[in-house]
A and B are shown apart, each in its own frame.
Chain A
Amino acid sequence: MTDPHYLTLIHAEIDGELDEHQRAELARHLLADPESRSLRDSLRRMCLAMDGVAAVEPPPQLRSDILQALPPVTATTVGAAARWRPAPVWRYAAMFAAALVGGALLFRAGVGRGPDPTELAGTMAGKAARPGVIVDTVQVDLGQVAGKVSLYRSEAKLGLDIALTAGEPVDVLVGSGGQALRIAGPRAAMTLPGPWIPGQVVDLSFVVHGRQIGTAQLRVPPDR
């Protein structure tokens, strides 16, 4: 058992923090104590191995994924930033009125054209287009189906990122807010319809050859 004092000196030596006097003291101790010498050598080898691990390049699309996921309200340019100076009150009033009128028109135009509210119509999207912050993730380990499913949120929407590997065709049944959706395939990214609410639960069932092999649940944190 190496004395704590010498143990500290060994670590400090690895970090290159010993002065001449301490280095001599440690050297004398290591000469006299083979156990400490062995400990010092193995710690040193281990640290050198870690120091020598090269940094890994991040995935090439990471940067664009991050930039695409930024909230649009702050996605502005330098030129636009200059326009953020306080505007007269009447200008805000006019903008508010215009937004009300525009919103009412859009709402009327959209009535009756959407899907049946009991049919959940998610929007499929490529993985690179995932536009939000992950709020919950489930690790799937069901034998023939493995991987993970993440729930993410953008400003107004929830989305699912399904990244599974499966030896057989797998369907994921998604239930949320009284609606249900079946997603085919081991990998998919999709946006769930409707705005998200804090504490919202998304139920998942994993189905292979028509048989449910496992379930999981994702949840939006209550405080988000």
Chain B
Amino acid sequence: MLQENDADLVQRCRDGDRRAFDRLVVRYQKPVFNAALRMLHNPEDARDVAQTVFLKVFEHLSQFDPNLKFYSWLYRIALNESINYRSHLKPTEAITGREVDRAAGVERQVESEQSSQVIEQALMRIQPEHRAVIVLRHFQQLSYQDMAEILGLPEKTVKSRLYSARQQLRELLLEDGVC
């Protein structure tokens, strides 16, 4: 069976076809959830973000630029939501600022290998903008061209940001005696 392309589905959504939106959800819920999961390192938060991303997409479909790839737009929203989600987490009065440690400690069953757990925990300690390029390149396996479109940056800048991110991550792993 011929698979409908994203542009057709988006157009059908704009025409009010809810089933077309369902197809987009089926197609992209996994990558969106995984991108949020790697950004936030918490499955419940990733679930919340994924839900919010699709609702925002639905609400703003009329603003989607058809010159962009749909998934680039989707990833862009997913990354921004993930970054905003973490920055909007506010502590209760008695909180002690252990948010990152807590997030890293919950529901670890999503990871299967110890080394990837250590890497992902270190990932939470680098800047979100750097984490985003690592997530897109190494966890979502995207090309530099796609990353540039998603991030709205020249490919050269994306590469240089990725190189810095890898270096930072390696240094953190070295500090932890892993790398």
- Residues of chain A whose beta carbon lies under 8 Å from any beta carbon of chain B: 7-8, 11, 14-15, 39, 42-43, 45-47, 49-59, 62-63, 65-67, 69-71, 74-78, 80-81, 84, 132-134, 136-143, 146, 148, 150, 163, 206, 213-217
A62 touches B47 (CB 8 A): yes
Give the residues from 92 to 124 in chain B that come closer than 8 angstroms, CB to CB, to chain A: 92-96, 98-99, 102, 110-113, 115-116, 119-120
B51 touches A62 (CB 8 A): yes
Count the B residues whose beta carbon is within 8 Å of the partner chain — how many?
64
- Minimum CB distance partner of A45 in chain B: B179
B89 touches A63 (CB 8 A): no
B26 touches A138 (CB 8 A): no
- Minimum CB distance partner of A53 in chain B: B116
- Minimum CB distance partner of A141 in chain B: B95
Bound Cα distance A77, B179 (Å): 54
A75 touches B56 (CB 8 A): no
Given contacts A58-B50, A63-B29, A66-B25, contact A137 B16 (CB under 8 A): no
Shortest Cβ distance from residue A120 to the other chain B in the assembled complex, whole angstroms: 21
Bound Cα distance A84, B15 (Å): 9
- Minimum CB distance partner of B102 in chain A: A141
B52 touches A134 (CB 8 A): yes
Shortest Cβ distance from residue A181 to the other chain B in the assembled complex, whole angstroms: 18
Q: Can you list 15 A-B pairs, Cβ within 8 angstroms, ordered by A?
A: A7-B163, A42-B170, A46-B119, A51-B138, A53-B116, A55-B139, A58-B34, A65-B51, A77-B16, A77-B18, A138-B92, A141-B91, A141-B94, A141-B96, A206-B92
Which residues does chain A contribute within 8 Å of B95, judged by CB atoms? 139-142
Bound Cα distance A15, B138 (Å): 10
Bound Cα distance A55, B138 (Å): 11
B29 touches A137 (CB 8 A): no
Identify B138's interface contact among A50, A62, A71, A84, CB under 8 A.
A50
B141 on interface, CB distance cutoff 8 Å = yes
B119 touches A140 (CB 8 A): no
- Minimum CB distance partner of B37 in chain A: A56
Q: Output the residue of A14, A71, A77, A81 with the most chain B CB within 10 A.
A: A81
Which residues does chain B contribute within 8 Å of A65, judged by CB atoms? 51
B33 on interface, CB distance cutoff 8 Å = yes
Given contacts A50-B116, A56-B37, A146-B102, contact A216 B90 (CB under 8 A): yes
Given contacts A67-B25, A141-B96, contact A54 B166 (CB under 8 A): no
B132 on interface, CB distance cutoff 8 Å = no
B153 on interface, CB distance cutoff 8 Å = no
Which residues does chain A contribute within 8 Å of B26, judged by CB atoms? 63
Give the residues from 42 to 78 in chain B that come closer than 8 angstroms, CB to CB, to chain A: 43-44, 47-48, 50-52, 54-56, 58-59
